[in-house]
A and B are shown apart, each in its own frame.
Chain A
Amino acid sequence: MKSKKLTALLLTVAMTASMLAGCGGDNAGGGDNAGGGDNAGGGAETSNAPETEGGSDETASSGDDGNKDIIDFTMFIAMPGPEINDGNEIQEIIAQKTGVRVKETWLTGQTAAEAVGTIIAGGEYPDFIDGGDGQMALYDADALVAWDDYLDKYPKLKAMYSDEEWDRFRQADGKIYWANIFQNTYGESKATTHNDEAFWIQAKVLAWDNYPEIKTLDQYFDLLERYAEANPTMEDGTEIIPYTILCEDWRYFCIENAGQFLDGYPNDGSVIVNTDTMKIEDYNTSETTHRYFRKLNEEYNKGIVDHEFATQTYDEYIAKLSTGRVLGMCDQWWDFAYTVNDVFKQQGLDLKGCNYVPLGLTIDEGMDNMWHTYGDTQNTANGVAITTSCKDVDAAFQFLEDCLDQEIHDLRFWGVEGVDYMVDDDGLYYRTEEQRMQCANTEYKASHLCTYSYLPQYLGTSSDGKNAMQPPEQTSEFFAGLAQPLVDCFEAYGVTTYVEMIGSVNKETGPWFPMYSFSNNMTTETPGGVAWTKMGEVKHEWLPKVVMSESFDGAWSDYMTAYEGCKPEDFLSEMQTELDRRAGQAQ
């Protein structure tokens, strides 16, 4: 194989050389060059192709040794994610046990809707798909297999949700086409992390000010200002960034929806549901949101907000956070923590107090916050689905069923016993420091671990009644993995977990919650959907502009004019109809 690569390289070099020689030559030079260029490219491609084929052949033959025919499925997930290596060790073990291997591909460089749209236009689907924001388009294109005829045959899969919960997945034609696999607790909840949105702050900043009570947005920025003034650089001399905001593409929720939380409402995502009047309210135009942006604008002009925030990409944002330079930001835990915390661990920055803790801020003091919602949030907007291109639908469902088997589940999230985790005398799983380090290593994750993170899974307690389904929720693991500055911080505030740290009130959310599961799937078929699309465009442009403007009031009123031009009332009235429907259904 190596020699083939070499020949391809030589060929390319030779072609390029002949092209260069051609340039000094006669008339035909121009034409020849173009041809040479094409050939060189083609040569490299064709000699690479057999190589990749050879690679997959190898894995196939190693599968044959295990006297079981392994079915290879494909899966597309409309979210960016880490691709694991071919021949990943745990993937092979799972393949031996279940007879199914799933090749996952992730979103790269496109939005979810673009990627799904391209797949639909092509007409050939992967076997499994999670379409993200594009899920509805898949349903509209008749690309998905209905679950109704299969569900009863697979008891574990069916047990994921109650009948009432399954009903919420039903589409306009009354059938179920997908199941969301997140936030599903088995047995007792073991939640320790606040897996949602918050204003985050580095533990060292809180420690520096002797762990003050931070309840409001003003207090938060006041602390950031004071800290930045006293400590303008990190130990190694890099300048700190007191506050940054991510606003790339769909991730602009980091700037966009804080208004609803600051007002004390839970994450309905696109609107506020006023539970007293049962009316939909628009947080974009609320007084609180207005004050929030005024504050951001003020801090931007003071130099506290990162001057590059509006043009940074997600990768740049994560890279910035990973250096430990950024003191605080507003974001969802899952959007940064898994990558950033691993880097902190590897670089030893966790010991310097760079880890982020959540603060349950409100706009004024004395308000309840609902940044954290207790219990599972069932997002019906998208989830894992099986497509009509799948050759063996029964095998596909069987695999979804197998994914929930405790043994397979442990393999996915804990790894191999004795290698990735240990079992103590009481049957409790734990990891040694070495194993913890190893599981945070990117290379090891790609070659050894295989979580199938978008296939059915549980949180909460394992079927043995002792362990957590997933390691981060194992109480002992959580505390053992906690860096000292975090332990000190939690202790100072008299809490034990991230969830207690943010201190949200335990108020039950209505049966309509979350409303974003409806707005996420709106299409431009309806006036409300058109308004929703245009509102998104306007906000993408204006929210950063408002923050960066020199005169806030002028910019805000320009923004409001542009916003009203999108006819948000069309959108809000469709949301009201859906709220009434959901509330009515529950009664």
Chain B
Amino acid sequence: MSRGKKKAKQEITWKEIKRQKVLLIWAALFVIYGFIFYYLPLGGWIMAFQNYKPKTGLFHSKWIGLDKFKFLFSDATFIRVIRNTLAMGTINLVTSFIMAIVFAILLNEVKNVLGKKLVQTISYLPHFLSWIIVTGILHDALSSTGIVNELLQKFGFISSQINFFAHESYFWPIVAFSNLWKETGWNAIIYLAAITAIDPSLYEAASIDGAGRWAKIRYITLPGIKPTIMILLLMNVGNVLNAGFEVQYILGNGLVQKVSQTIDIYVLNWGISQNDYSLGTAAGIFKSAVSIVLILIANRIAKRSGEESLF
């Protein structure tokens, strides 16, 4: 960042531009890509203020102002959907975040190289499975004749089978668990990388001073990866509202729909199934706005406390 400021003070000459021609072309490609795929589609947001019909298109649909937003916020389902999204997003963020760090540190403490690599590889493989497969496994494992029920019965914890997908109270934990199972190993990779960047001489010095394992983790490893933790936290906070779609969509059913539906599912139901593209867009805008606010707040807090920040 500081280097960028210095450059800005430098005079931009044709010679300089010519010298960096290749770099500039590459950069321009990505700017164009970003513009086309991230900014151009935002034009579609005007749908939210129209009564959009595919027949009349973007330019001839009737303007209705904020009617769709009014419908959204008077719809009890939408309010519930926001609650579900925030709840599941937060649970996912907290659990996956903490677990990844704990897992990375634990793995780092394993001295047997072969064992370490084996565990790491196995633990991050689920990341490559599609959600369809993961939910399929979950569905089978948690079914009334599945392994979970069988084990619980064998060990006498329960007397009759539990239908896990029929109770609202089980749904969020199931989603959180599936996220953990799938992503912990993968998320830990970046922390492991950060840990290897810590200067080994620090550990040696600490050993000489008589620090044990706990002390080394607490005073060297954790502070060493703190910048990484902060940046990732910031980025993940912006993702809280992306609490997921596939898991909830596939595992949800009529009985648990009150707690299972997320904003994305709501958008699909109204925007695509009911052909109310305007309402779907309005819900999408609301989601983006909340995400931006969340990121700004988190960034401000990080800056205030003198930590790394995004901008």
Task: From B12-20, B204-212, B234-242, B268-276, give the one contacting chain A.
Answer: B268-276
Interface-forming stretch among B87-95, B214-222, B249-257, B296-304? B249-257
Q: Which of A23, A247, A308, A311 contacts B120 (CB 8 A)?
A: A23
A20 touches B121 (CB 8 A): yes
In the assembly, what is the distance between CA of A172 and CA of B270, in Å?
24
A435 to chain B, nearest CB (A): 36
Determine how close the nearest CB of chain A comes to the CB of B168; give it in whole angstroms: 10
> What is the predominant secondary structure among interface residues of chain B facing chain A?
helix
Q: Do most interface residues of chain A lie in helix, strand or loop, or is the interface mixed?
A: helix
Stretch at the interface among A359-367, A500-508, A537-545: A537-545
Contact status B258-A541, CB under 8 Å: yes
Most chain A CB atoms below 10 A, which of B113, B192, B270, B275: B275
- The answer for the CA separation of A141 and B257 in the assembled complex, in Å, is 30
A117, B270: Cα distance in complex, Å: 10
Do A308 and B144 contact each other (CB < 8 Å), given the known contacts A23-B117, A24-B117, A523-B275?
A: yes
Q: Do the beta carbons of A29 and B189 come within 8 Å of each other?
A: yes
> Once the chains bind, are B268 and A30 in contact (CB under 8 Å)?
no
Contact between B196 and A117 (Cβ–Cβ < 8 Å)?
A: no
Q: Residues of A contacting B276 with CB < 8 Å?
A: 524
A142 to B128, CA, bound (A): 41
Residue B54 lies at the interface, judged by CB distance under 8 Å to chain A: yes
State whether A30 and B193 are in contact (beta carbons under 8 Å apart), knowing that A113-B272, A140-B275, A141-B55 are contacts in the complex: yes
Chain B neighbourhood of A543, CB < 8 A = 254
Measured between C-beta atoms, what is the minimum distance from B184 to chain A in Å? 15
* Contact-size category for A: 35 or more
**Chain A, 323-356, CB within 8 A of any chain B CB:** none
Q: Chain A, 190-224, contact with B by CB distance < 8 Å: what is the 0/1 string?
A: 00000000000000000000000000000000000
Q: Are A141 and B54 in contact (CB under 8 A)?
A: yes
- Inter-chain CA distance A524–B128, complex, in Å, is 39
Task: Among A20, A114, A524, point to the contact of B117 (Cβ < 8 A).
Answer: A20
Minimum CB–CB distance from A51 to chain B (whole Å) comes to: 21
Which of B163, B189, B257, B275 interacts with A30 by CB under 8 Å? B189
User: Given A23-B120, A307-B163, A537-B257 in contact, is the A111-B273 Cβ separation under 8 Å?
Assistant: yes
Q: Give the residue among B120, B163, B192, B255 with the most A Cβ atoms within 10 A.
A: B255
Interface flag for B143 (CB, 8 Å): yes
- The CA of A304 and the CA of B168, in the complex, are separated in Å by 24
Interface residues as binary, B39-55 with A (CB distance below 8 Å gives 1, 0 otherwise): 00000000000000111
Task: Tell whether, in the assembled complex, residue B163 and residue A120 are in contact, meaning their CB atoms are under 8 Å apart.
Answer: no
User: Is B133 on the interface with A (CB-CB < 8 A)?
Assistant: no
A510 within 8 A of B: no
Rounded to whole angstroms, the CA-CA distance of A540 and B256 in the bound complex is 10
Q: With A and B bound together, what is the CA distance between A248 and B253 in angstroms?
A: 7
A499 CB-CB contact with B under 8 Å: no
Bound Cα distance A456, B251 (Å): 37
Q: Considering the complex, give the chain B residue whose CB is closest to the CB of A533.
A: B274
The smallest beta-carbon distance between A134 and chain B, in angstroms, is 8
Q: At the interface, yes or no: A61 with Cβ under 8 Å from chain B?
A: no
Could you give, for residues 123-150 of chain A, a 1 whenever the CB lies within 8 Å of some chain B CB and a 0 otherwise? 1000000000010010011110000000
B36 within 8 A of A: no
Given contacts A23-B120, A111-B273, A533-B274, whether A548 and B166 have CB atoms under 8 Å apart is yes
Closest Cβ neighbor of A541 among chain B residues: B254
Interface string of A510-552 (1 = CB under 8 A from B): 0000000000000110000000010001001101110010000
Indicate which residue in B53, B144, B189, B258 contacts A23 across the interface (CB closer than 8 Å): B189
**What distance in Å separates the Cβ of A554 from its nearest Cβ neighbour in chain B?**
17
Interface residue B103 (Cβ < 8 Å from any Cβ of A)? no
Whole-angstrom distance from the CB of B84 to the nearest CB of chain A?
Answer: 14
In the complex, the answer to whether A310 meets B190 with C-beta atoms within 8 Å is no
Contacts of B55 in A (CB 8 A): 140-142
Q: Which residues of A contact B53 (CB under 8 A)?
A: 140-141
Q: Which residues of A contact B128 (CB under 8 A)?
A: 37
Interface residue ranges of A8-25 to B (CB < 8 Å): 20, 23-24
Does A26 touch B at the CB level, under 8 Å? yes
A248 neighbours in B (Cβ, 8 Å): 253
Residue B268 contacts which of A114, A524, A533, A548 (CB distance < 8 angstroms)? A114
B196 engages A311 (CB within 8 Å):
no
Q: List 19 A-B contacts (CB under 8 A).
A: A26-B193, A26-B196, A27-B197, A30-B189, A30-B193, A37-B128, A123-B54, A140-B54, A141-B53, A141-B54, A142-B55, A143-B54, A247-B254, A248-B253, A307-B163, A308-B143, A310-B255, A537-B77, A540-B257
Besides A141-B54, A252-B254, A523-B274, 9 more A-B contacts (Cβ < 8 Å) are: A23-B117, A24-B117, A29-B192, A29-B193, A143-B54, A308-B143, A311-B163, A311-B253, A533-B274
